[in-house]
Amino acid sequence: MATAANPRKRLRSVSPASSVASGATSLRGSTPLNVPSSAIFSPGLFDKAAQYHAQHASSRPYKHCIIDELVSDTLLRCVRREVTTQLHFTPKETDIYKLHQTGDLLNISGLSSRDREKLSALHSLRDSMYSSEFRAFITEICDCGPLSGLKQDMSINCYVKGSHLLTHDDVIGSRRVSYILYLPDPEDKDCDVEDVHGRNLGWDPAWGGALRLYEMDAKGAPKAEWSKVVPPAWNQLTFFVVQPGVSFHDVEEVVVDKPRLAISGWFHLPQKGEDGYIEGLQESLNLDSSRAALADAAAAAAAGLGELPSPMLTGISDFPLGTDRAYTALTQQDIEYLAATVNPKYLDVNTILNSRDEFVDLSLLELDGILNDEFAAKLREYIEELEKSPVPVSVSDAAKLKSEWRVSRPPHKHRYLYIEPSREAEPSTPIQQLVAVVASQQFRKWLTSITGVAELSHSRVLARRFRQGLDYTLATTGLNLVDENGTAPIDDDGDASGGLLEGTLCITPTIGWDEGEFGGYELYMDDGTANDDQPDQTSGDREHRDSDDDQNDPAVYLSGSRSKRRKELEQLRAESKLSVGDDGSIATCEGRANVDELFDDSDDDGEVEESAGDSVLLTSQAKWNVLTIVYRDPGVLKFVKYVSQNAPGSRWDVTGEWKPTYNSREDTPASDSD
């Protein structure tokens, strides 16, 4: 069942890993503070700046650099031991990521000297990486100009089984260079991957967790598939200049029960008062990138290279059956047409009237068994056969397999397979038949009857397949949808920010989705801008979210079955030396520094902060033969969560969006009749 209209209701929990501390080294000491850089970094590192500059200049798909041995192996083992025995990790999940993370490591400076000593190796590494010498080294390699030593931005991420980070370009504020330093277990006996010197790299690429870089297509957007893969490796630093609309990357899902530890962060532009600070430089860079984006968008539009599928809402007159713009009541012919696929229960006048009353009250209907038995059986058999067949992974795969499915793009907004209604060929498969029905005039008239929402002038209908380990949609308000003229459909008062009637007919035949563990659920939530004059309109405007910014991110939500979660946490406590809070946060209990107040995101009573979860309006898990209809106001975000590689199958649905022409739902006949 869907979860709705209950701000305390939670998604299912994100299970933390029980093995974060399992790879602690046998080293017991810590390096002292203020260690000279010669003892921190690998010997001769700074002498190789020209070599790394050449590597950076020739790299693709955009300029980046990989340093295989950044720091002293002894020091980094000390750092890893401190991380796995002293720090507190908190589970975090939004539409774009799922991981565990510490707080900002800048907070180390605020600890007492006694507690700071327990993190002395990490403290030394942090200070050395933001030293003037190392910043100059990065600048020489990247030709990126001066970098700030004052604004330090570093944290530690732990990716466990199921963790991931979807496509984004890292552009926020004054970020200039993005970096990641990997800390896998260099003594992991399950890993047989070695460097040229025979040293264990601590991570097998088959375990997932790779950094993946995206090439741009002709229209200036990232291609649907990545073109460069950088697997984690012990003591490896990867970095690149943050470039708006260019530096797109993601982190592949981890598929094993091992922690992928890494220190990550950003070097920023110099701040006011620092050498190299230029008044207005940040604003200028942002303005230039905005102008370039607009130019790219204009060029793409002129070349007909739009987003796929197109965000265009199709006017009713474009369909062969679109002759009745008055949306009169369902006729007997309409009912006979729909009865070929729709359960007769939902064509009954009493059911329609009762459902309309419910929709007026809740703006939500969930219609279980919406398809009749005969058509549902035929559709299910067809989908189950597709589940057994080769799955198109790339655009070229779809072409080679002569698939009816296309790959959506760009990946910083969404990725899935889709089918659109055909205006020419007759439907030849059950899914095509269902898409044709949902896109039909008869179905729109039925929607008006069962919801009371009249004058549905424009629509967009798709069949979608969300593949394991690949597919998702990122949060958007849906106000990026436009009409056939390329503009947002407007109501009688010229308001382009009205709501949408939306329906998702979920046709996922596999079971095991109810807990939300594997993603694939559709989630609606309030983004906090419902009363703003200019609400956020597209996922493209929100693509730059990262885990350190989630306190202010409206797409943050919390997971919940407390009883189930407590059992999992009790098991974690029993099996390891971890200290696991009831909020799912991970820490260790062996001589831990008193850093909870700096690295813990939970409340004093151990419960996770409730405010973010309170914004969740509806959670609908993947299921079979259920139609969910909602009226979505401006300021309500929607996304389909990334489908895990461990999911029982693909998520399948047919989704539609319909734009009313009136000002508000109070103008509808259904509301007037109350």
Identify the CA nearest to 220 among candidates 296, 126, 159, 147.
296
User: For position 291, what pLDDT does the model report?
Assistant: 60
Q: Is residue 252 part of a domain?
A: yes
Torsion over CA of 597, 599, 603 and 604, rounded to 10 degrees?
A: -30
User: Residues 343, 267: one domain?
Assistant: no
Q: Is residue 571 part of a domain?
A: no
Averaged pLDDT, 155-174 = 96
User: Residues 365, 486: one domain?
Assistant: yes
- Mean pLDDT, the chain, integer: 79
**Burial letters for 64-102: b for 16+ Cβ neighbours within 10 Å, e otherwise?**
bbbbebbbbeebbbbbbbbbbbbbbbbbbbbbbbbbbbb
Q: Is 423 exposed, middle or buried (0-12, 13-18, 19+ CB in 10 A)?
A: exposed
CA atoms of 22 and 184, how far apart (whole Å): 11
Q: Where are the beta strands (DSSP E) in 183-221?
A: 211-213
CA atoms of 353 and 545, how far apart (whole Å): 43
- Higher local confidence (pLDDT), 295 or 170: 170
User: For position 423, what pLDDT does the model report?
Assistant: 77
Task: For residue range 586-643, list pLDDT tens digits in order.
Answer: 343 333 444 443 444 443 333 333 344 568 999 999 999 999 999 999 889 999 999 9
pTM of the model: 0.83
Q: Is residue 146 part of a domain?
A: yes
Averaged pLDDT, 64-71 = 98
Q: Is residue 69 part of a domain?
A: yes
- Higher local confidence (pLDDT), 668 or 395: 395
Q: Is residue 32 part of a domain?
A: no
User: For position 197, what pLDDT does the model report?
Assistant: 78
User: Residues 267, 383: one domain?
Assistant: no
Task: For residue range 504-537, list pLDDT tens digits in order.
Answer: 999 999 999 999 999 999 999 987 654 443 333 3
Task: For residue range 20-41, list pLDDT tens digits in order.
Answer: 333 333 333 344 445 666 689 9
User: For position 294, what pLDDT does the model report?
Assistant: 54
Per-residue pLDDT for 645 more than 80?
A: yes
In which band, very low, low, confident or very high, does the pLDDT at 316 lie, cut at 50, 70 and 90? low
The C-alpha angle with vertex 146 and arms to 145 and 150, in degrees rounded to 5, equals 150
Helices (H), 363-429: 373-388, 395-400
DSSP state of 268: E
Tokens of 653: 């649905």
In which band, very low, low, confident or very high, does the pLDDT at 649 lie, cut at 50, 70 and 90? very high
CA atoms of 658 and 642, how far apart (whole Å): 25
Averaged pLDDT, 166-178 = 95
User: Residues 312, 242: one domain?
Assistant: no
User: For position 488, what pLDDT does the model report?
Assistant: 53
User: Residues 384, 511: one domain?
Assistant: yes
Q: Is 658 exposed, middle or buried (0-12, 13-18, 19+ CB in 10 A)?
A: buried
User: Residues 64, 151: one domain?
Assistant: yes
Q: Judge whether 36 and 124 are in contact, CB under 8 Å.
A: no
User: For position 254, what pLDDT does the model report?
Assistant: 98
User: Residues 265, 347: one domain?
Assistant: no
Per-residue pLDDT for 103 more than 80?
A: yes
Q: Is residue 86 part of a domain?
A: yes
User: Residues 249, 389: one domain?
Assistant: no
CA atoms of 671 and 654, how far apart (whole Å): 28
CATH number of domain containing 372: 3.60.130.20
User: For position 530, what pLDDT does the model report?
Assistant: 45
| Conformation bin of residue 512: beta by default, left when phi > 0, alpha when psi is -120 to 50 | left
Tokens of 600: 């813990």
User: Residues 262, 353: one domain?
Assistant: no
Q: Is residue 294 part of a domain?
A: no
User: For position 635, what pLDDT does the model report?
Assistant: 83
CA atoms of 127 and 433, how far apart (whole Å): 62
User: Residues 240, 386: one domain?
Assistant: no
Residues near 17 by Cβ (< 8 Å), separated by ≥ 6? 100, 158, 160, 161, 257, 258, 259, 586
DSSP string of 568-619? HHHHHHHHSSEEE-TTS-EEE-SS--S-HHHH--B-TTSPBPSTTGGGEEEE
CA atoms of 66 and 479, how far apart (whole Å): 40
CA atoms of 62 and 51, how far apart (whole Å): 18
Host domain of residue 478: 304-316+328-528+613-660
SS3 call for 45:
helix
Per-residue pLDDT for 222 more than 70?
A: yes
Residues near 604 by Cβ (< 8 Å), separated by ≥ 6? none
User: For position 75, what pLDDT does the model report?
Assistant: 96
Which residue bears the tokens 């007159």? Answer: 317
Distances (CA, A) of 49 to 133, 242, 386: 12, 20, 52
Identify the CA nearest to 65 among candidates 174, 130, 138, 166.
138
Identify the CA nearest to 81 among candidates 133, 28, 45, 128.
28
Tokens of 295: 């130019």
CATH number of domain containing 215: 2.60.120.620
Averaged pLDDT, 185-193 = 94
Residues near 402 by Cβ (< 8 Å), separated by ≥ 6? none
Q: Is 37 exposed, middle or buried (0-12, 13-18, 19+ CB in 10 A)?
A: middle
Per-residue pLDDT for 565 more than 60?
A: no
In which band, very low, low, confident or very high, does the pLDDT at 199 lie, cut at 50, 70 and 90? confident
User: Residues 145, 261: one domain?
Assistant: yes
Q: Is residue 298 part of a domain?
A: no
- Higher local confidence (pLDDT), 483 or 602: 483
Per-residue pLDDT for 393 more than 60?
A: yes
Minimum mean pLDDT range among 155-159, 253-257, 579-583: 579-583
The total number of structural domains that make up the chain:
2
Other beta carbons less than 10 A from residue 605's beta carbon: 7
| % of the chain exceeding 90 in pLDDT | 58
Q: Judge whether 562 and 500 are in contact, CB under 8 Å.
A: no
User: For position 2, what pLDDT does the model report?
Assistant: 52
User: Residues 265, 334: one domain?
Assistant: no
Averaged pLDDT, 99-107 = 92
**For the chain, what is the radius of gyration of the CA atoms?**
27
CA atoms of 469 and 485, how far apart (whole Å): 36
Per-residue pLDDT for 49 more than 60?
A: yes
Identify the CA nearest to 22 among candidates 260, 286, 290.
260
User: For position 295, what pLDDT does the model report?
Assistant: 58
User: For position 529, what pLDDT does the model report?
Assistant: 55
CA atoms of 352 and 345, how far apart (whole Å): 9
CA atoms of 479 and 487, how far apart (whole Å): 10
**Partners of 630 in beta bridges:** 364, 502
CA atoms of 296 and 287, how far apart (whole Å): 14
Identify the CA nearest to 212 among candidates 234, 174, 181, 238.
238
Other beta carbons less than 10 A from residue 146's beta carbon: 18
Minimum mean pLDDT range among 72-76, 312-316, 562-566: 562-566
